[in-house]
Amino acid sequence: MIFMKTDIYNQKGEKAGSLELPKAVFGLPWNDDLMHQVVVSAQANKRAPIAHTKGRGDVSGGGKKPWRQKGTGRARHGSIRSPIWVGGGVAHGPTKEKDYSKKINKKMNKKAIFTALSQKLRDNEILFLDKIVLGRTKTKDAAEILKSVSKIKGFEKLAAKRKNKALLALPKKDAEAIRSFRNIPGMEIFETRNLNVLDLLTYKYLIISNPKESLAVWK
């Protein structure tokens, strides 16, 4: 496997060493067709079919013919449940039974995640932290960490950006870190294995804690 080197920082924003990254994960070229297909499918899979209308068989009333077929001078009608009547059913309206989901091939999804990671690395939007240690579960302490690492070149917006600021990727579930970071505006916390293309493209930065353990899920 071919590797590429990058820097690791501590939570004070100081260099703490270097890390070898697999080129198969962080060295892929951008692929428009692949990313478009995976993103559209992922968005479709998140879509909830909420809109629902009633057809002529669902509305009440209309069991009787409104008036006789001929001789009244009026148009012919068989039921007040017809879509052309006020209060009648809706013709071809949306229903909550509709399934919008699209299948995403596992290999395609994995490659799309690697492609997004590769682009973020090229754009200097991935920060590798050796570890996150919180003396107490306080959002104030988590904010201090972000303020410290925002001194690193290229990550200046980490302290000030409010919307879609950063994803924090943890090697495993850490209740203390989640409680500390979740109240910071623009932050989202995931286990590394649960990262997805939509969030990688939505959030500006990706902070990977304990990178050696975190990146092991992609071997």
Q: Is 195 exposed, middle or buried (0-12, 13-18, 19+ CB in 10 A)?
A: buried
Task: Quick: pLDDT tens for 3-19.
Answer: 789 999 999 999 999 99
**What pLDDT is attached to residue 159?**
84
pLDDT band at residue 94 under the 50/70/90 scheme = very high
CA distance 174 to 179: 9
pLDDT tens by residue, 171-197: 999 888 998 998 999 999 999 999 999
Instruction: Please give the average per-residue pLDDT across 69-73, as a whole number.
Output: 95
- For residue range 107-163, what is the model confidence (pLDDT) as tens digits? 999 999 999 999 999 999 999 999 998 877 688 889 999 999 999 999 998 888 889
Contact between residue 92 and residue 54 where contact means Cβ atoms under 8 Å apart:
no
pLDDT reported for residue 1: 63
Predicted confidence at residue 137, as pLDDT, reads 67
| DSSP letter (8 states) at residue 57 | T
CATH of domain 3-47+100-218: 3.40.1370.10
Q: What pLDDT does residue 82 have?
A: 93
What are the start and end residues of each CATH 3.40.1370.10 domain in the chain?
3-47+100-218
Distance between CA 28 and CA 202 in Å, rounded? 19
Supply the pLDDT for residue 69: 95
Q: How confident is the model at residue 42 (pLDDT cuts 50, 70, 90)?
A: very high
Q: Rounded distance, CA 213 to CA 110, Å? A: 18
Could you tell me the two tokens for 195?
């990262």
